[in-house]
């Protein structure tokens, strides 16, 4: 899953670097913080719209990006509160964490396994066979779901804490760094657990598309 990790990290960097860079560029021209936060959030939304127009489809994450932009706009118009704008990403982490943990008891598969299956469509039958036949394989994915779920909630709590205790202009860069650190750390834990379980090496052998 190395290629998936690199592509996911690249997307994360793009979605974080553009808003953070845009925020500080706008602040250099004395744009008020709340409007700088709103306008700097446009690049990820534009990427989602571009995907929608060119591929005629949008995924759940993309829809959430658009939803949070709309909520941010409404928040700006109603309150003008920059700190409330700063925690919009934290609400996404909270929602993700709750969704991950809920998937352990709702539905057939935990969210992390569903995500892996979506990333590896040509190996879907092998993944499903491993799920059915190996308790250790099921345990690894359930453990990863707990790790990512709790990690998302911790990230959310730290983001909210920074947003309400630090100077507004310090938060975007620090929050971006925190997001990258959590993502990389959780990916490292993911790779270690899957390597120790061992089944994924067999699943990743060359195969025909299912």
- Structure pTM? 0.79
Residue 160 falls within a domain, yes or no? yes
- Is the predicted pLDDT of residue 209 greater than 50, yes or no? no
- Is the predicted pLDDT of residue 16 greater than 60, yes or no? yes
Residue 10 falls within a domain, yes or no? yes
- Of 200, 197, 136, 175, the closest CA to residue 12 belongs to 175
Residue 109 falls within a domain, yes or no? yes
Residue 192 falls within a domain, yes or no? yes
- DSSP sequence for 159-206: HHHHHHHS-GGGHHHHHHHHHHHHHHHHHHHHHHHHHHH-HHHHHTS-
- Cα separation of 143 and 140, whole Å? 5
As a whole-number percent, the residues of the chain with pLDDT over 90 amount to: 31
| Structural domain range at position 59 | 2-203
Residue bearing the bigger pLDDT, 63 or 172: 172
Residue 111 falls within a domain, yes or no? yes
Q: What confidence score (pLDDT) does residue 18 get?
A: 81
Q: What confidence score (pLDDT) does residue 62 get?
A: 57
Beta carbons of 1 and 194 less than 8 angstroms apart: yes
Q: What confidence score (pLDDT) does residue 61 get?
A: 54
Q: How many degrees, rounded to 5, is the angle at CA 209 between CA 193 and CA 186?
A: 20
Q: How many degrees, rounded to 5, is the angle at CA 200 between CA 95 and CA 205?
A: 130
Residue 208 falls within a domain, yes or no? no
Beta carbons of 207 and 122 less than 8 angstroms apart: yes
Beta carbons of 64 and 96 less than 8 angstroms apart: no
146-172: pLDDT as tens digits: 999 999 999 999 999 999 999 999 999
Helix (H) or strand (E) run with residue 45 in it: helix 42-55
Residue 210 falls within a domain, yes or no? no
Q: What confidence score (pLDDT) does residue 165 get?
A: 95
113-138: pLDDT as tens digits: 888 887 776 777 888 888 998 898 99
Structural domains counted in the chain = 1
- Of 40, 54, 39, 43, the closest CA to residue 11 belongs to 43
Q: What confidence score (pLDDT) does residue 210 get?
A: 45
- Cα separation of 172 and 15, whole Å? 13
Residue 38 falls within a domain, yes or no? yes
Rounded to an integer, the average pLDDT of 161-190 is: 92
């Amino acid at each position: 899953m190395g290629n998936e990790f690199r592509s996911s990290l690249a997307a994360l960097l793009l979605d974080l670097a553009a808003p953070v860079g845009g925020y500080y560029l706008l602040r250099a021209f004395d744009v008020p913080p709340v409007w700088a936060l709103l306008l700097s959030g446009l690049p990820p939304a534009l990427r989602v719209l571009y995907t929608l127009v060119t591929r005629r489809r949008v995924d759940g994450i993309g829809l959430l990006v658009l939803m949070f932009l709309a909520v941010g706009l409404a928040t700006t118009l109603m309150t003008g509160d920059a700190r409330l704008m700063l925690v919009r990403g934290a609400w996404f982490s909270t929602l993700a964490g709750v969704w991950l943990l809920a998937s352990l008891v709702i539905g057939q598969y935990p969210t992390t396994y569903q995500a892996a299956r979506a990333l590896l469509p040509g190996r879907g039958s092998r993944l499903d066979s491993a799920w059915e036949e190996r308790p250790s394989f099921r345990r690894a994915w359930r453990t990863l779901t707990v790790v990512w779920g709790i990690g998302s909630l911790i990230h959310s709590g730290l983001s909210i804490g920074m947003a309400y205790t630090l100077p507004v202009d310090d938060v975007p860069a620090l929050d971006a760094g925190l997001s990258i650190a959590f993502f990389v750390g959780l990916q490292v834990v993911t790779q270690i657990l899957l390597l120790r379980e061992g089944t994924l090496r067999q699943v990743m052998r060359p195969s025909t598309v299912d």
